[in-house]
Structure formats: C-alpha cells, structure tokens
Structure 1
Amino acid sequence: MVINNSLEEVKKRENALSIIKNIIETKGRSSLFDLTGLSGGFIASPSEISLLETYVGPAIFEDELQKVGKEHMGGEKILPLNRTSSGILATILTLVSKNSNVVHYLAQLPAHPSIPRSCKLVGANYSETDNFEEFSIPKNTSLVIVTGSTMDHKVIDEEEFRKVIEMAHEKNIPVMVDDASGARLRTVVFNQPKACDLGADIAITSTDKLMPGPRGGLMAGRKDLIDEIKVKVHQFGLEAQPPAVLAMLNGIKNFDETNLLNSFSRKDELFELLNAKYDNFQTTPTGVMISPEGLANEITAEHNLSENDLAFVFSFILLRDYGIITIPAVSMPGASATIRFDLSTNDAFGLDLKDLCKKIESSINKLQEVVINEDECREIVFSF
C-alpha cells in the first residue's frame, strides 16, 4: 500500500503543493494546468482589498453578497462559510439530535465524507442510498439530505429530486441539499431549477467549484433556519472571513455560464481521443474521468497496489512530468480518487486536446513501468 491512512493523505497533499510551488518558481505559472474543476480564484481590486478589515469588510461586502448570492442560489437568506463542509457540519449540529435518523439520497454512492462524519459527531443514525426504489424516511428522522451532483459529477434526476423533497415535507422534515458543484452544473448544463426553487430548505455550494471564487461555502435557504445555523457557525468559528466574502462576491459576479457550456461540447473530442486507446475513460458533464477501478483495468503489469494507490501515483506522474493538477494529488483525506480532466477551468481553455491526450497516454505508460516497484511508487507520491 502507498496510502494507508488519513495522515498519509495529508502528507501526499503537502508533497503535491511543494511540487506545484517548484514548478511555478522554476518554470512559471503558465507551466501548470489545473484541471481539477476546483481551481477557483480571488478576484479583488486594490480599493476592495484596502477594506478587508475585521469589521469594515463584513459591513461593506456581506450586504451585497446577500443580493448576488440569492440570485445565484435562490432562498430567503445567504450565509457565507469557510468551507462547504463547515456548512454541512453546522447544519447537522443545529438540526440533528442524538439517536435521530439522517437519510441521504444521491445519484451515486458514496456521499462526501463530511456528511457521515458530522452525523457521527452528534450521535445520529446515518444512512445513504443511490437507489430511489430503496429510499425511505423512517420515524424519528431529523434531516433529509440530497446531493445535487456527486464528487464525480453524477447529477441527480430532477424528478427524483422533487419526490425526495415532497416525501420529507409531508413529514415536516427539513431538507438540506449538498449542491457543491451542482448549483452550477445542474442549473447551467442540465437546466434544472435552483435547489431552493425546488423546495429545499437549505442548500450549500462550494464557491471554488466550476466558478472563479475562493475555497469556501455559500449557504442559502429559509431565513429561520439560516438564522439558527448562523448561531452555531459563529459559536464554532465556521464563518467566512472578510477576504473570502469579498472573493465569493466577485466570483459570483464573474461566473460565466458559457465556460461550462463550452467545456460540455469539448469533452466529447477529448473522450474520442482517449477512447481510441483505452476502454475505461468516461465522460463527465465538463470533461472526462477515469475511476480507480477503471485505471486498474488499464494496467497490465502485475503489482500489489490498491486501486486508489494507482490513482494517486498516476496523479503525481501527471503533476511531476507535465504540470497537470488532478484531484487525487491535492485532495483532502477521504475525497474521491477518481481522476477528472475538467475542461471548464481557465487553464483548459487554450489546451490542445491532442497534446493533452498524448500526455495522459505517456503518464499511463509510466505508471505501467513503476507499479511493479512499490518503493518507487511511494517515492513518486511522497518525495519531492
């Protein structure tokens, strides 16, 4: 095994950041290609930056964020947070009691790990399913959760989405929607309504996913619930700080739907190039991906690595040799190890897709060579 625990996942990420820093210092930013779909950004003018004081910043920027946030997310009130996971945690701390049930429906398992971890923290009984026929809401359920778009960009069926919300509301149970990327992916590419417009009581999105904002969370929903959750947010220091609030505001203002739509059309070209050589790549709404299982099926050399280990080593070869950033190299512990090449990011707009295909092929060939040596694989992942 290359990665054995969460601590090694953290160390893996630290090494990836060191490699990124070295590439920037030695070759320049133009030699990096962030294809994670999580590249985000921090858009701010000098005059705005001068206002980022502890109390001046919120006074200036939070009111405007309420306006543009509601336009982007729907709902009655907006709450900026330091992470989407923070909003999930705060919601569960607020609405879920010990020994109650939390049920979760999503298009494809598994859920983001912050959800079951938060339920465990409060002592709730948590269950999740991606089979709508098996979904039910038992007695003593305090919260129903829906994921709009999974970590691998599998989008929920709109009719099932509506039915889950109706089932919950028939029992007077609030619904929280984890719409991390879905707030844009569902609405722009799949023409679905905003989660709050579908009847969700709470919805939260990641402000760095498929938009030029910072790593942070933006919650929308019923005013009474937002106010309750906001108390818990401030008690535990989960609120977004002034710089993040400003960057969220400008990220939403600068979000361009055409970037998503263009990536939606370009993905087929990249998929056709890869599909001519490999059997296990799949399309996503904004690019292509290969799962750890799929990558394992492409490797013919004998080895003792896990499927996730293969994905981690592959992601580091892409980063080290070609400056291509994918999620497994830089992800937090517990995140999906699926490798996505997202074409909605700024770095992808000018990419020659034939050249990208050649670099992916070269990296898979390199992976074929090193998998027979576990020590060499560990060195690739952990040694800068």
Structure 2
Amino acid sequence: MIVNNSLDEVKKRENALAIIKNIVNTKGRDALFDLTGLSGGFIASSSEISLLETYVGPAIFEDALQEAGKEHMGGEKVLAVNRTSSGILATILALAGENSNVVHYLAELPAHPSIPRSCKLVGANYFETDVFEEFSIPENTSLVVITGSTMDHKVIDEDEFRKVIKMAHDKNIPVMVDDASGARLRTVVFNQQKACDLGADIAITSTDKLMPGPRGGLMAGRKDLIDQIKIKVNQFGLEAQPPAVLAMLNGIKNFKEDNLIKSFTRKDDLYELLSERFNNFVKSPTGVMISPESLSKEIDIPHNLSDNDLAFVFSFILLKDYGIITIPPVSMPGASATIRFELSSPDAFDLDLKDLNKKIEASFDKLLDVIANEEKCREIVFSF
C-alpha cells in the first residue's frame, strides 16, 4: 500500500500542488490541462476588487448574490459558505440532534464523507443506501439527505427524488440535497428540475463544479431553515468571505449551459478513441472516467498495489509527464479515486482529443513499466 490514511492523502495532495506550481513557473499556465471539472475560477473586475473590504464587500455583493443564487438554485433565500462540506456540517449541526437518525438516499454509494463525518460529530445515527426499495425513514429521524449527483457523477432518478421528498414531508422531516455538481449537471444535461423546485427544504452546490466560480458552497432553501443554519455558520466561522462571495456571484453570471451540452457530445469521441485500446473506461455525463477497480482490470502484470494506489500512480504520471490534472492527485482525504477526464473544463474546450488519447496511452504504458516497483511508485506519488 502506498496511500494508507488521511495523512498520506494530505501529503499526496501537497506534492501534486508543488508539481503544478513547478509546471506553471517553468512552462507557463498553458502547459497545464485541468480536466477535473473542478477548475473553478475567480472572475472580478478591478473596480469590484477595490470593494473587497471586510464589511463593504458583503454590503455590496451579498444582496446581488441573493438574487442570482435564487435564480440559479431556487428557494427563498441563499447562504454562501466557504465549502460545500461546511454547509453540510452547519446543516447537520443545526438540524440533527444527538441520537437522532439521519437517513440518506443516493444513486450510488458511497456518499461524500462530509455527511457521515458531520453526523458522527453531533452523535447522530447515520444510514445510507443506493437501493430505493431498501430506503426507509425510521422513528426519531431528524434529517433526510439526498445526493443529486454522486462524486462520480451518477445522477439520481427524478421520480425517486420526488418520492423520497414526499416520504420525508409526510413525516414532517426536512430534506437536504447535496447537489454539489448536480445543481447544473441534473438540470442542464438531464433536464431535471432544481432541487428546491422539487420540494427540497435545503440544497447546496459547489460553486467550482462545472461552473467558473471559486471553491465554495452556496446553499438555498426555506428561509426559516437557512436562518437556523446561518447561526451555526457564523458561530463556527464557516461563512464565505467577501472575495468568495463576489466570485460566486460572477461565476453564476458567467455560467454557460452550452459548455456542458458540448462536453456531453464530445465525450463520445474520446470514449471511442480510448476503447480502441482499453476495455474498462466508461462515459460520464460530461466526459470519460475509469474507477480504480476498473483500472486494475486493465493490468495483467503482478504487483502489490491496491486499486486506489494504481489510480494515484497513473494520475500522477499524467500530471508529471503531461500536465494533465485529474482529481486523485489533488483531492481531499476520503474523496473518490476515480480518474475523470471532464470535457466540461475550460482547458478541454479546444483540446485535441486524439492528442489527449495518446497521452493517456503513454501514461498507462509508463504505469505498466513501474508497477512492479513499489518504491518507484511511491516516489511518483510523494516525491516532487
């Protein structure tokens, strides 16, 4: 095993960021290709930046974010937080009591780790399932959670979405939707309704996922619940600061649905190219991906690496040799190690897919060359 625990995941990420910095300093930003779908951005004019003071910034930009956020997410009120995980934590702190039950339905396990971790922190009992027939709401349930689109972009069925909301509301239990990428993926690509329009009480999205905003979270929903959650947000310093609020506002304003739709069609071209050599890549809604388990099936050379380790080594080779950023090198502890090539990323808009395919193949060939040497693999992941 190469990556054994959360500390290893932190060190792995630190090394990836050092590699990215070196590429920018020596070759320039154009030598990097961020295909994570999380590239985000910070759009701001010089006149807007001049207003980013501690109290002036919120006074100017938070009202505008209310209007833009409600249009983007639905709901009665929005709340900006410093990360989606922060909003999830604040919601569970506000709504889930000790020894109460939190039940979660999603299209495919596992849930984002911030949800069970937050429940553990408050002493709530947590249950999750991706089998609709097995989903139930026991007595003493304080919160029902739905994931709109999983970490690997598996999208929930809208009929099941509605049924879970109804089940909860029949028992007067609030529903929180983790719609990190789903707020755009579900609505634009799959033509589903916004979570709040489907009846969710609270929905939260990541403002850097599939849109040109900063790393942050934007919550929307019932005013009374947003106000309760806002108390916890302010008590624990989870609120988004003025620069992030401004960038969220401009990220929403500059979000273009056509970019997602274009990636939805281009993924077929990349998939066909990869399928000439590989058997286990699959299409995502806006790109192509391979899970650690599927990557392992592509390899017939004896080795001692775990499936996740294979994904880490492969993705670090892509980064070091070709400047291709995928999620595993830069992810936070507990995130999925699936390697996604997201064509919705700005760096992918004009990318030559044949050239990308060649770089993926060459990186895989290098993986095969080093896979039997665990120390060499460790060096690739942890050594700058």
TM range (shorter): over 0.9
Residue of structure 2 in register with 1:353 after alignment: 353
Deviation of residue 40 (structure 1)? 0.1
Q: Gapped runs of 5+ residues in structure 1?
A: none
What's 2:58 paired with? 58
What is residue 238 of structure 1 aligned with on the other side? Answer: 238
Question: What per-residue deviation string (whole Å, max 9, x for no partner) do you get for residues 272-292 of structure 1?
Answer: 111111110000000000000
> Whole-Å Cα distance in 2 between the matches of residues 92 and 337 of structure 1?
26
- Residue 76 of structure 1: CA displacement? 0.1
2:98 maps to which residue? 98
Rounded to whole Å, the distance in 1 between the matches of 2:126 and 2:370 is: 40
Aligned partners of 1:245, 1:167: CA distance in 2, in Å? 35
Deviations 1:184-224 (A, max 9, x none): 00000000000000000000000000000000000000000
Secondary structure at 1:183 match in 2: helix
1:28 maps onto 2:28 in alignment: yes
Shift of 1:53: 0.2
Q: Following the alignment from structure 1 to structure 2, what is the Cα–Cα distance between the partners of residues 78 and 146? A: 19
TM superposition shift of 1:95: 0.2
TM-score, normalised on structure 2? 1.00
**TM alignment of 1:178-217, pairs within 5 A:** 178-217=178-217
Alignment of 1:142-161 (within 5 A): 142-161=142-161
Whole-angstrom CA distance in 1 between matches of 2:366 and 2:297: 15
Instruction: Give me the identity figure in percent.
Output: 82
Alignment of 1:81-96 (within 5 A): 81-96=81-96
Distance 2:146 2:376 in 1: 41
1:382 maps to what in 2?
Answer: 382
Q: Please state how far the C-alpha of 1:92 moved relative to its aligned partner.
A: 0.1
Which ranges of 4 or more aligned residues in structure 1 deviate by more than 2 Å? none
Write the distance in 2 (CA, Å) between the matches of 1:268 and 1:346: 18
In 1, distance between residues paired with 2:52 and 2:345? 27
Report matched runs for 1:303-318 at 5 Å. Answer: 303-318=303-318
Aligned partners of 2:166 and 2:274: how far apart in 1?
Answer: 42
Task: Determine the structure 2 residue equivalent to 1:283.
Answer: 283
**Alpha-carbon distance in structure 2 between the residues aligned to 1:277 and 1:371:** 19
1:238 aligned partner, one-letter code: L
8 Å Cα contact 1:33/1:325 also seen in 2: yes
Q: Within 5 Å, give how 1:247-266 maps onto structure 2.
A: 247-266=247-266
Tell me how far 1:41 sits from its aligned partner.
0.1
TM-score, structure 1 length as denominator?
1.00
- Quick one: which amino acid aligns to residue 265 of structure 2? S
SS at match of 1:188: helix
CA distance in 2, matches of 1:152, 1:200: 22
CA contact (8 A) 1:144 1:175 kept: yes
8 Å contact 1:33–1:347 — kept in the other structure? yes
Find the aligned partners of 2:300 and 2:25 in 1 and give their Cα distance.
37
Separation in structure 1 between the aligned mates of residue 300 and residue 50 of structure 2, nearest angstrom: 57
1:341 is paired with a residue whose SS is: strand
1:345-369 deviation per Cα after TM superposition (whole angstroms, max 9, x unaligned): 1100111101101100111111111
Distance 1:300 1:259 in 2: 38
1: distance between equivalents of 2:136 and 2:363?
44
Taking the aligned partners of 1:373 and 1:123, their CA distance within structure 2 comes to 44
CA distance in 2 between partners of 1:310 and 1:345 (Å): 24
Amino acid at match of 1:189: V
> Do the aligned partners of 1:95 and 1:142 also contact (CA within 8 Å) in 2?
yes
Q: Distance in 2 between matches of 1:330 and 1:337?
A: 10
C-alpha separation in 2, matches of 1:311 and 1:210: 22
Q: Is the 8 A contact 1:87 1:219 kept in 2?
A: yes
Residue type of the partner of 1:289?
Answer: M
Distance in 2 of aligned mates of 1:107 and 1:366: 34
Equivalent position SS for 2:165: helix
**Aligned-residue offset at 1:29:** 0.5
Aligned length: 384
Q: Distance in 1 between matches of 2:128 and 2:274?
A: 33
SS in 2 for 1:169: helix
Report what 1:13 is aligned to: 13
Q: 1:268: which partner in 2?
A: 268
Conserved in 2, the CA contact under 8 Å of 1:300 and 1:368? no
Q: How does 1:116-195 map to 2 (within 5 A)?
A: 116-195=116-195
CA–CA distance in structure 2, aligned partners of residues 53 and 292 of structure 1:
45
Aligned-partner SS, 1:109? coil
How far did residue 150 of structure 1 move?
Answer: 0.1
Task: Tell me how far 1:58 sits from its aligned partner.
Answer: 0.1
Deviation per CA, 1:223-263: give whole Å up to 9, x if none: 00000000000000000000000000000000000000000
Provide the residue aligned with 2:76 in structure 1: 76
Tell me how large the CA RMSD over aligned residues is.
0.4
Query: For residues 172 and 158 of structure 1, what CA distance do their matches in structure 2 show?
Result: 21
Cα offset, 1:299, TM superposition: 1.1
Task: Provide structure 2 residue ranges, at least 5 long, that are not aligned to the other structure.
Answer: none
Deviations 1:91-117 (A, max 9, x none): 000000011100000000000000000
The letter of the residue matching 1:337 is A
